[in-house]
Amino acid sequence: MEIWELAVTALGLSADAFAVAVCKGLSIKKTTVKNSLVVGTWFGGFQALMPLIGYFLASLFAEKIRAFDHWIAFALLVIIGGEMIIGALSKKEDGDENPSLSVKIMLPLAIATSIDALAVGVGFAFLEANIWVAIAFIGAITFIVSAVGVKIGGVFGAKFKKKAELAGGIILILIGIKILLEHLGVINF
């Protein structure tokens, strides 16, 4: 996987965390640098940890499924991206109204926003991607995007939440299609 692909994947994965961070910014009376760093650390840390877990779990079974690994990576990215798009287009508002940054509140949010990264980590195992570079990109980009999201939520409100989630879903689907087409020999990047 190329560096630009990792960066785009990281941006796509960070969309959920960005959306929740914007909601956090909305719920906090006064956003501070400390608040932004706390949210960024939670989301960036879990977005880095989950692909690592997925990668190592999939690596245990990689040899047995190498013949159809590209289909697995494609399916996971399309499913995750599709769910993000459906969530972005739904009329349901799932805003986080609790301004707390406690472990009790942030741990479930960090896990929920990083489940898709676990599946992407499985895909990385099949693509033989450098997992250390991948998790560094994903963690760092999610940290930055989430920290900025808190500030944006505090300043601009929720109008960017759905758009970020929609863009992230589209990006993940496009990467999945690219992976499939490369493995089928249709394109060569």
Taking only the tens place, the pLDDT of each residue in 23-53 is 788 777 778 899 999 999 999 999 999 999 9
Q: Is residue 72 part of a domain?
A: yes
Per DSSP, 129 falls in state: -
In degrees and rounded to multiples of 5, residue 28 shows phi and psi of: -85, 130
* Tens-digit pLDDT profile for residues 106-164: 888 888 778 778 888 888 887 777 899 999 999 999 999 999 999 988 777 556 667 76
DSSP string, 84-135: HHHHHHSS----------SHHHHHHHHHHHHHHHHHHHHHHHHHT--HHHHH
- 18: in domain: yes
Written as one string, the DSSP assignment of 74-94 is: HHHHHHHHHHHHHHHHSS---
CA–CA gap between residue 132 and residue 122 (Å, rounded): 14
Per-residue model confidence (pLDDT) at position 12: 85
pLDDT class for 96, splitting at 50, 70, 90? very low
In a domain, 70, yes or no: yes
What are the φ/ψ torsions at residue 133 (nearest 5 degrees)?
Answer: -65, -40
- Residue 59 included in any domain: yes
93, 128, 186 from 101: Cα distances, Å: 21, 36, 47
Q: Note down the domain range covering 122.
A: 3-183
Residue 188 lies in a domain: no
Question: Residue 153: is it exposed, middle or buried by C-beta count within 10 angstroms (0-12/13-18/19+)?
Answer: buried
CATH number (domain holding residue 166): 1.20.1250
In a domain, 189, yes or no: no
Q: At what angle do helices 131-156 and 3-27 cross, to 10 degrees?
A: 30
Does any domain span residue 126? Answer: yes
CA dihedral 58, 61, 64, 70 (to 10 degrees): 0
For the chain, what percent of residues have pLDDT higher than 70?
A: 84
Residue 103 maps to a domain: yes
Q: Please report the pLDDT score of residue 47 as a whole number.
A: 94
Domains held by the chain: number: 1
